[in-house]
Structure 1
Amino acid sequence: MTAFRIELRRSSALLLAAATVVVGALLLWLLADEWTARWSGLAYLMRALLFALVPVALAAGAWQGGRDRRAGVTELFGTVARPYPQRLLPVALAMAAGVLVAYAALLAGGSVQVAPYASYAGGQWPVVVAVGAVALVAAAWLGMAVGRWVPSVLTPPTLLVFSFLGQMLSRLDNGVLLPVLATPSDLATVAPEFLAAQGVWFGGLAAAALLLVASATVWARALAAAVALAAAGVSSAVAPATAFVVSTDGATLVCADGEPRVCAPRIHAAVLPALTEPAREALRTLAPIPNAPTRVVATDLGWAPVAPQRTTDVLVVDLRFRLNATGRFEAAPAGLRTILLKGAGTQSCPDPAWGFERDVAADQAATGWVTGRPAGPATDEYGRLGERTLSELKALPRPEQLARLAAYRTAKVRCDRDPLTALTTGAPR
């Protein structure tokens, strides 16, 4: 313990800890909108930080690993009775302690921001962060090993540059051997098998790096290489094809009290207080249309496995671009009502065969009808088309107006027919 305390003060451990905190805190601040309302968002950003923190740990470890040769004391230390591995162990532990304490400090700082706003604490997020911490320790020890065997002053910056380049060339595609995880959605969670495979890989890499740091023979270095290869082989073999799966618990719908039903995924339950009244007001506005929606569901349409089935009785609110840094809606109640009434409570069709211009014109006309406002800025061809369509629709008897709006909503839900044609001519419903 005495040697460990001395190495904490004299090694690169404190420098590594300080660099980790400074770089990590800066990135957490710059990317605050990505995580401040969700524990899972914080966990995945902690893993995203490894894009910068792993190169820093490698460089700091390499600088520490070459210390003895740079100081010219290798032969002197070789004459002492204490075995080389035993002498190197306190240094390695000090480096690991430095990077772990710094990583934990970043997590604690982020937690202070998340705790007041997060409405859901489930999922795999603690394990996601823990695996990232093991990756950082492995990087620091691997840097020490490289620095010991290549004790040049150019080794740390070379490792720094090439580790950045290696991560960029890998495209950070959530490979099991890569430290960075990029989640596609808040409603996704890392597969437990994938986390286990990464734990095996980074744990094996850390063990191999420690063997290299303390190795004094060819056989020890061969054993280290075998451990690393075995860890890579096992993790690649057991890793699932897809890193992410639907968070069954987080995606479970929870609903506000009362009727009509207004629901959101458990992980986004914080939106319900602001959403409920504007949603029910929008349902009342749409109620005269024959196939009007009867309930509202807020979800992330960008994550297809949990997107609700398109039906006329459900008004879907896409959460992807509607939330601020605290997980609440950016729009005020009046703005929320406008969002809900867009396209008479329908979602756009993906890649419409009839063209986006006609889709937008139909949406503008339907929105103008239900809100009682102009169809939209008539500054281009489809804007003028929407304005003209709304005028023609309002000139019809009210029962025909409602019938055409119902036909339009059916076309938008099924995405099998031009909604502008349905709005202008009517159709079988």
Structure 2
Amino acid sequence: MKALRVELRRSIAPWAGLVLVGAAVTLLYSLSAPWWKGLEAWDEQWHSAAQWVRFLLVFLWPMVVGAGAIAGLRDHRAGTEDLLATTARPAWQRAAATAGALAFCLVAAYLLVFALGATLVVAHGGYFHLAWLPITAVGALAVVAGGWLGMGVARVFPSVLTPPLLALSSLIALVFLTVSQDPVSEPEVVVPNQITLLSPALGAMRNVYDTVATAANTGQAIWLTGIALTGFGLYAAATTRLRVLALAPVLVSAAIALPLLPARTFVLNEAASASVCRENVCLSRMHESTLDSFAPVAEEALRLLAKLPDAPTSVREVPYPAQNQGGIPRTADVVPVHFNGDPFRFATPSDWLAALVAGAGTPTCFSDLDGDEKVIREAAARTAVAAWFTGELKPLPDFRFIREGAAEPAGRALTALRSLPADEQLVRVTTARQVGLSCQGDQLAVLTGGTG
């Protein structure tokens, strides 16, 4: 214990922890990066904070490996390796003090960064669940594995070039593996997800309802434990034979972990996405606190839509991103709501109402592959239909980036629609609804009789 206290005072371990905290906080606060965007922001939900800190390991883990390598070179730089080898104290005990101090400081630094995010999450009223715990635990294990790996490699290759070369090679490997993890679209060169999960870093947070699969956490924990044991073994080994034996843990852990690691890293968080209903209005448990203010607006939307044939009878939140789950479900009896984005997060009740009746209660059809003209035409049609129900022509919250282009055709479509007899207006809005349910056709052309 005394040796550990000495290491904590005089070794590089405290400085490595400070660098880890400083680098993480600098990245989090100096860049307007994805970890500050929308409901997936690192300070909005518990598992968002945990996952974004894991994502930052792309940049932090190479620093950790480099710091471990510097620690591993200490005896070589001081020229005391032969002297220490003659002492009666076993080599592994001497190594344990240095490795333990480094591990303690790195884990404390990692948990401190997460604690900062967790404090902000509590302040923002984030939904509490335990999905963050295994993500954070594996991250803490990752920094220990990185530090010990650097120490072990530096002991085997005691060169001043070892720390920078280890850090650079680790950065290149992690960037490649992490960007290949769970791709939104199929890449030209397919890297099996099991291989990408050998990176201690996780991919970017794309959906607040996603969480890391249990198999991914388990497999990564086994793999990182093997790396840590091999790193410590290489650092403590005094002979070539022991160094060869030290490679066994990483080989065994790879053989165990690879079959366990899943083809998809992220799965739906069942607890957070479970429905909480009030009569005909259902939101996810994550947004249960919004139900009191949202339910009356949703009921009003259902009342307005009731004039349509085969009108929807309920409003339900859909906790699936269209890009990962094949699109938002489209059924005639349900008005889907997608809270996983800014439109509903920052909307007023009147904005909510307009968005719910837009498209006569149907979700959007456009995708990132559609051209600007198609998107603007649909936005104009949905805006006109919403105004037909509410009596107020206003931009829709989910089309905020194309308001200017959609405003004029929406006004023309609404004027053309209101100039028709009431029964013909109902027919055209109903037809536009059918287009929205099938995504086959042009809603603007339907509303204007083919002239819009």
- Asked if 2 retains the 8 angstrom alpha-carbon contact of 1:123 and 1:189, the reply is no
Query: Are positions 1:147 and 2:154 aligned together?
Result: yes
- Asked if 2 retains the 8 angstrom alpha-carbon contact of 1:194 and 1:243, the reply is yes
Query: Are positions 1:125 and 2:132 aligned together?
Result: yes
Partner residue, 2:414: 390
Query: Are positions 1:229 and 2:282 aligned together?
Result: no
- Of 165, 169, 177 in structure 1, the residue corresponding to residue 198 of structure 2 is 177
- TM-score norm. by structure 2 comes to 0.84
1:11-410 correspondence runs (5 A): 11-29=11-29, 31-33=35-37, 34-118=41-125, 120-174=127-181, 175-182=196-203, 183-255=205-277, 257=278, 259=279, 261-303=280-322, 304-305=324-325, 309-322=329-342, 329-350=345-366, 355-374=374-393, 384-410=408-434
Identity of aligned residues (%): 36
Deviation, 1:64, is 0.6
In 2, distance between residues paired with 1:292 and 1:322? 27
- Asked if 1 retains the 8 angstrom alpha-carbon contact of 2:58 and 2:178, the reply is no
Change (3 A) 1:26 1:338: farther
Change (3 A) 1:181 1:187: same
In structure 1, the residue corresponding to 2:315 is in which secondary structure?
strand
CA RMSD of aligned residues (A): 2.7
After superposing the two structures, state which structure 1 stretch, 81-90 or 277-286, moved more: 277-286
- Asked if 2 retains the 8 angstrom alpha-carbon contact of 1:251 and 1:306, the reply is no
Change (3 A) 1:131 1:63: same
Change (3 A) 1:138 1:295: same
- TM-score norm. by structure 1 comes to 0.88
In 2, distance between residues paired with 1:276 and 1:101? 44
In 1, distance between residues paired with 2:134 and 2:198? 16
Deviation string 1:16-64 (CA, Å, 9 cap, x unpaired) is 1111121223334453451222111112112112122211211111111
- Asked if 2 retains the 8 angstrom alpha-carbon contact of 1:43 and 1:125, the reply is yes
| Unmatched segments (≥5 aa) in structure 2 | 182-195, 396-401
Deviation string 1:370-403 (CA, Å, 9 cap, x unpaired) is 23244879976x7654433322211111122112
In structure 1, the residue corresponding to 2:345 is in which secondary structure?
coil
| Unmatched segments (≥5 aa) in structure 1 | none
Counterpart AA for 2:428: R
Deviation, 1:119, is 5.1
Deviation, 1:8, is 0.9
In 2, distance between residues paired with 1:233 and 1:172? 24
In 2, distance between residues paired with 1:90 and 1:375? 67
Deviation, 1:85, is 2.1
Change (3 A) 1:389 1:248: same
Deviation string 1:97-138 (CA, Å, 9 cap, x unpaired) is 111111122222222222244453335320111011111100
